Amino acid sequence: MTEQVMQRFRPVLTAGPAHDWVFTHGLEQAVAAAPGTEILVGASVPARLIEACGPALRLVQVTGAGTDKVADLPPNVVLANTSHHGRSIAEHVMMVSMMLLRHVPRARRELGEGRWRTVTTDPTVPFGGVLAGRTLGLVGFGEIGTQVALLARALGMRVRAVRHSGRPAEGVEWMGTPDRLPELLAAGDVVVVTVPLSGATRDLIDAQALKTMKNDAILVNVARGAVVNEQALHDALSRGTIGGAAIDVWWRNPRDPGAPPPSHLDFTGFDNVVLTPHQSGHTEETFHGRALDIAANVQALATGLPLRNLVYPKS
C-alpha cells in the first residue's frame, strides 16, 4: 500500500486472514518493493510502478473513487475503487454554502483586523441568507450528488440536476441531460460540481457557463479542479459576476517537493470564497469504510470470490 492516510487504518486492513502486506512511502520505495506484487493499493498508480510489479500483478485497488491517476493496465489486471465519501462531502457542501450565504469569510477577516461589523452596527453590511427556498443545481448525480440532494431537500431547498442519462430521480424536481446544463446554471442559487474529470468535462464550467449563472449564485466545486476553468473562475470572482465560490479541488497538486502551487492565480484575497485543501471527504467515517472495502477485496481475490466496486472489467 502506497497511500499514507490509509496506512492509519492498518488494524482494519490486516484484521482478516493473513496476507503479506507491504506499506511504502513514496514512489521510489514502492517501486523497490513492487516485484512480485499481486495487488497494488494506492491513489496514484503510475506506469513505472505497474511495470515494476511484473506479471504477478492481478489487481489495482484505488483508495478512493477517482481512477484518473491510474496508468494503462495490462489486460490481465483488474481495477477496483471505493468511495464512502458521499455523505462527508455533502455535509461539506452544505457547510461552505452556509458560510458564503452568511458572509463568514468577510466577517472572519474583519474580526482578525479588530473590526466588529454587523447589520446592527453598519447599514452597508449585507444581510445573510438561508438555504431554505433556494434552488440547488447539481452538475452530476452520482454518489456525491445523491447525498447532496438529500441534505439540500432536508434543508428546504429545491433540487435540480443534470446527468448523463437524464433519468429522473426521487426528490429532484428537474433532471436534464448534459446538453441542458445552461438551463441548470441559469436556475441555480447554489451550483455544485460533482462530475468526474474526463475529456468531455474538462473546462465544462468555462467563461460562458459562468456568465449563464445568476450574479449572486454560489459555485461549489468538489469534483476535480480542471472541470472548472481556472482563469474564467478567477475573472468571474474579480468582476463580481457570480456571488461566490467554494474551492476544495485544485488545478495542481502541491504535495510533492518542487511542485507548482495549487493555482497560479490568487484566490486568497476574495471575501466571497471558501478555500480548502481537497479535504471535503476527509472524515474518519470515509476512510474506515474504504479500509473495509480494500480488505474485503484482498480477501476476495485470494479466495476467488467476486470483487467489490469493479471499474474494469465491469462486473
Do 120 and 25 belong to one domain?
no
pLDDT tens profile 232-248: 999 999 999 999 999 99
| CATH number, domain with residue 121 | 3.40.50.720
293 torsion bin: left (phi>0), alpha (psi -120 to 50), beta (else): alpha
SS3 sequence of the chain: CCCHHHHCCHHHHCCCCCCCCCCCCCHHHHHHHCCCCCEEEECCECHHHHHHHHHHCCEEEECCCCCCCECCCCCCCEEECCCCCHHHHHHHHHHHHHHHHCCHHHHHHHHHCCCCCCCCCCCCCCCCCCCCCCEEEEECCCHHHHHHHHHHHHCCCEEEEECCCCCCCCCCCEEECHHHHHHHHHHCCEEEECCCCCCCCCCCECHHHHHHCCCCCEEEECCCHHHECHHHHHHHHHHCCCCEEEECCCCCCCCCCCCCCCCCCCCCCCCCEEECCCCCCCCHHHHHHHHHHHHHHHHHHHHCCCCCCEEECCC
pLDDT tens profile 155-166: 999 999 999 999
State pTM to two decimals. 0.90
User: Can you tell me the distance from the alpha carbon of 81 to that of 196, in angstroms, rounded to the nearest whole number?
Assistant: 14
Do 92 and 78 belong to one domain?
no
Q: What is the pLDDT of residue 4?
A: 85
Would you place residue 260 in the very low, low, confident or very high pLDDT band (cuts 50, 70, 90)? confident
Is there a contact between 171 and 149 (Cβ–Cβ < 8 Å)? Answer: yes
Question: Average of pLDDT values for 38-49?
Answer: 95
User: Can you tell me the distance from the alpha carbon of 253 to that of 163, in angstroms, rounded to the nearest whole number?
Assistant: 27
Q: What is the mean pLDDT of the chain?
A: 95
- CA atoms 120, 123, 128, 133: torsion sign: positive
Domain span at 297: 4-84+283-312
Do 183 and 238 belong to one domain?
yes
Looking at the 3D structure of the chain, how many domains does it have?
Answer: 2
Q: What is the pLDDT of residue 238?
A: 98
Residue 135 has pLDDT above 90, yes or no: yes
Q: What is the pLDDT of residue 20?
A: 92
Q: What is the pLDDT of residue 257?
A: 65
Question: Average of pLDDT values for 95-121?
Answer: 97
Do 109 and 210 belong to one domain?
yes
Q: Which residue has the higher pLDDT, 120 or 17?
A: 120
Residue 75 has pLDDT above 90, yes or no: yes
Do 236 and 207 belong to one domain?
yes
Is there a contact between 221 and 196 (Cβ–Cβ < 8 Å)? Answer: no
Do 252 and 174 belong to one domain?
yes
Would you place residue 314 in the very low, low, confident or very high pLDDT band (cuts 50, 70, 90)? low
Question: Average of pLDDT values for 212-236?
Answer: 97
User: Can you tell me the distance from the alpha carbon of 54 to that of 6, in angstroms, rounded to the nearest whole number?
Assistant: 24
Do 158 and 305 belong to one domain?
no
Q: What is the pLDDT of residue 28?
A: 94
Q: What is the pLDDT of residue 134?
A: 98
Would you place residue 315 in the very low, low, confident or very high pLDDT band (cuts 50, 70, 90)? low
Do 145 and 246 belong to one domain?
yes
Residue 70 phi, psi dihedral angles, 5° rounding: -105, 125
Do 210 and 301 belong to one domain?
no
Do 100 and 191 belong to one domain?
yes
Would you place residue 256 in the very low, low, confident or very high pLDDT band (cuts 50, 70, 90)? low
Question: Average of pLDDT values for 84-89?
Answer: 97
Lowest mean pLDDT among 35-44, 60-69, 160-169, 210-219: 60-69
Residue 200 has pLDDT above 80, yes or no: yes
CA nearest to 146, candidates 117, 104, 175, 186 = 175
Percentage of the chain exceeding pLDDT 90: 90
Q: How far apart are the first and last CA of the chain?
A: 24
Q: Which residues of 130-148 are buried (b: 16+ CB within 10 A; e: fewer)?
A: ebeebbbbbbbbbbbbbbb
Lowest mean pLDDT among 65-79, 126-140, 215-229: 65-79
Is there a contact between 170 and 150 (Cβ–Cβ < 8 Å)? Answer: no
Do 100 and 224 belong to one domain?
yes
Percentage of the chain exceeding pLDDT 70: 98
